[in-house]
Structure 1
Amino acid sequence: MKFLFASDSFKGSLSSEEITGILTEEAKRIFPDCECSGVSVADGGEGTIEAVIDAMNGQIKTVSVHGPLMEETTAEFGVFDGSHAVIEMAKASGLPMVPSEKRNPLYTTTYGTGELIKAALDEGYRNIAIAIGGSATNDGGMGAMTALGVKFLDKEGNQLTGYGKDLGSVDRIDISGLHPAVKETEFTVMCDVMNPLTGQNGATYTFGKQKGGTPEVLKRLETDMKSYAGKLLELTGIDVDQIKGTGAAGGLGAALNVFLNANMKSGIETVLDLIQFDSLLEGVDLVVTGEGRMDWQSAFGKVPSGIGMRCKKRRIPAVAIVGGMGDGAEKIYEHGIESITTTIQGAMAIEEAMERSVELYRGAAQRTFRILRAGMSLKE
């Protein structure tokens, strides 16, 4: 019997590594001769770098960058295999980096994310994956591209800094100074939102409020973003509003697509490809995955759905152990997951569940393997 454990972390309580350890102990308790292996997995959001680097025996690099308010700070990116780099834009331009009283998308920038990309390029990495969730910005990616050598100029020829407030002032875009390594680098954007750059479902109106935008600010940003989209069309002939995901991260998705020719791809699919997950399925009899809470969203780009579909293609059964279930969790059955076991044993506060996370997960793991053993005893 060969098991593969590939669970997302339970945010705030259990890491993927801890989950693998518990599953291994309980699997061997029920099936003493079983073979167990585990891999850390994330869906392109928080923890992606750590999951990929752990799985691929890579390393973390720390560089000096500018945060979303152009403050000096440091940020990390991961590298492995000599040519691959993994970047989380939230490490340099994330919403948690901006105090709530200072949140205003007119005055935030993705410049630091561009500095992370530049650092990876300068060090020779030519396969770069960028996770773009959790941004504090609505600058159309101008800040990031400025850090990479693109010049956004106003009518007087002055170079713009690359904040959200600069979107409407763009008159001309000079790409002659774009980092020379861009043309020889393959960029992948981990993005699970389908929003276009502008419109009611675009970057500004969908995500701007949570970044501190008032109705007046959002109205201005939307008008300016439309102007910016027009300039991108003039420069490249690309209508970014016809490309799904260009509104992600306040328009960073659009800039990465237009200036870096990046491929937009599901976060979980990118991670599974990076860690060579399919090769790990060789000879496996059962996969155990999971996440902290499973609901209808789990079927759309989350770890269990990504794992489940890969297993389904190989006809390998997969089950999920989760902290709790919400509305529509059963949709995951359509994505290769055969059953769901919750760690919660009765009514309890979230604080208690997190405090007892190891104990509760261990109980759920034991129940899972016991029912598996019972199933194996059934007569045809």
Structure 2
Amino acid sequence: MKIVVAPDSFKESLSAPEVAEAIARGWLRVFPEAEVLLRPMADGGEGTVDAVLAACGGERRELRVSGPLGEPVSAHWGWLGDATAVLEMAAASGLHWVPAQQRDATRASSYGTGELIRAALDAGARRIILGLGGSATNDGGSGLLRALGVRFLDAEDEELEPGGLALARLARIDVSGLDARLLGVQVEVAADVDNPLCGPRGASHVFGPQKGASAAQVLALDAALGHFAQVAAATLGKDHSGFPGVGAAGGLGFAARAFLHARFRPGIELVAELSGLAVAVKGADLLITGEGRLDSQSLHGKTPVGVARVASAAGVPVIALAGSLGEGYQAVYEAGIDAAFSLSAGPQSLEQAMAGAAAALEARACDLARVWRMARA
């Protein structure tokens, strides 16, 4: 018997590797002789580096970089043996680095993410995978570009201060100092949103409020990013602001596409490729996936559905375990998931559910294995 376990993390509770290990423990209680392959997954956001390293056996590295508001933070990144660097924007410029009362989308900078890219270049990377999501910033990726040698100048030819709001005074972009090593590197962006840079569905309007932006600041930031896009188009000869996904991570997707010539791919697709999921599911009897919550929104780039597509192509049935099943979760049945179950065995608080997630996953996986054993009898 061959079982593949390929879940996402349970946010603020368990990492994807921890989820996979708990499910495996439950299954092996019933089928100790089973071959259980662990392939922890992620969608490009937080947890992507750890998921890839758990599957590929790469090296986890730490680097002291500039946090969203300029304070030093310790960010991690991954190094694979084929000269591939795996980075998470959130590791350096994530919202979790800024206490709620200090969040300031007008000043927050993605400079630290650029420092991660620079470290990957120093290591000799030939391919850089950059996961977007969970950002504290709304600077259009201008901070990232500064760290890589780009200068943002006002009408007096003075450097602009960090942050998205300052881009309203942008007069000229000097790209002459952009790190030349990027020319020999393939940059791939892992993102699960398709927002443009500006407008009602842009970075500022959709994501700005959760980063501390007031209604007035959202309008000002949107206008500033629009101006940035205009100056960038004049500098580069092409307007990239309307492409799907460039509004991800406070517009960092825009900088990646326009200045780094990044290729955009769904996060789960990239992680599945790196972890060898398609090879793992060949000949498998079952794939078990999961995430903290399954609902109708899980169809839009979320891990369980992406994993199910890979398994379905190999003719492997899929069962999903979720912390909770939300409204419309049945829609996942049309996307390759054959059955979905909630972990909760009864009424409990969110805190209780999160604290007991590992034990609940193990118990539910054991229950599934017992049912599987009956069906095989």
TM-score bracket relative to the smaller structure: over 0.9
Cα distance change of structure 1 residues 25 and 153 upon mapping to structure 2, 3 Å threshold: closer
**Match for residue 239 of structure 1?**
239
- Deviation at residue 176 of structure 1 after TM alignment: 1.4
The 1-side partners of 2:272 and 2:354 are apart by 28
Q: TM-score, normalised by structure 2?
A: 0.95
Q: Is the 8 A contact 1:312 1:335 kept in 2?
A: no
The 1-side partners of 2:89 and 2:274 are apart by 18
**Match for residue 145 of structure 1?**
145
Cα distance change of structure 1 residues 83 and 235 upon mapping to structure 2, 3 Å threshold: same
**Match for residue 250 of structure 1?**
250
SS across alignment from 1:75: strand
Cα distance change of structure 1 residues 374 and 128 upon mapping to structure 2, 3 Å threshold: same
The 1-side partners of 2:211 and 2:16 are apart by 30
- Deviation at residue 177 of structure 1 after TM alignment: 1.0
Unmatched segments (≥5 aa) in structure 1: none
Q: Is the 8 A contact 1:341 1:368 kept in 2?
A: no
* 1:374 to 2:369 alignment: no
Q: Is the 8 A contact 1:198 1:241 kept in 2?
A: yes
Q: Is the 8 A contact 2:22 2:359 kept in 1?
A: no
The 2-side partners of 1:349 and 1:24 are apart by 26
The 1-side partners of 2:189 and 2:123 are apart by 20
**Match for residue 276 of structure 2?**
276
The 2-side partners of 1:70 and 1:33 are apart by 52
SS across alignment from 2:101: helix
Q: Is the 8 A contact 1:136 1:211 kept in 2?
A: yes
- Deviation at residue 184 of structure 1 after TM alignment: 0.7
The 2-side partners of 1:345 and 1:304 are apart by 22
Q: TM-score, normalised by structure 1?
A: 0.94
Q: How many residues align?
A: 377
The worse-fitting range, judged by mean Cα deviation, of 220-229 and 301-310 is 220-229
RMSD of aligned C-alpha atoms?
A: 1.7
The 1-side partners of 2:16 and 2:241 are apart by 37
Q: Is the 8 A contact 1:140 1:167 kept in 2?
A: no
The 1-side partners of 2:173 and 2:299 are apart by 40
The 1-side partners of 2:115 and 2:135 are apart by 15
**Match for residue 133 of structure 1?**
133
The 2-side partners of 1:96 and 1:131 are apart by 16
- Deviation at residue 32 of structure 1 after TM alignment: 4.6
The 1-side partners of 2:43 and 2:162 are apart by 29
* 1:341 to 2:341 alignment: yes
- Deviation at residue 30 of structure 1 after TM alignment: 3.2
Flag the structure with more relative contact order, 1 or 2, with Cα contacts below 8 A and sequence separation at least 6: 2
**Match for residue 317 of structure 2?**
317
Letter in 1 for 2:294: M
Letter in 2 for 1:60: R
**Match for residue 193 of structure 1?**
193
Quick one: percent identity of the two aligned structures?
40
Letter in 1 for 2:205: Y
* 1:297 to 2:309 alignment: no
- Deviation at residue 247 of structure 1 after TM alignment: 1.0
* 1:172 to 2:172 alignment: yes
Deviations 1:90-144 (A, max 9, x none): 1111112123232222211111111111111111111111112111111111111
The worse-fitting range, judged by mean Cα deviation, of 238-247 and 301-310 is 238-247
**Match for residue 41 of structure 1?**
41
Cα distance change of structure 1 residues 213 and 16 upon mapping to structure 2, 3 Å threshold: closer
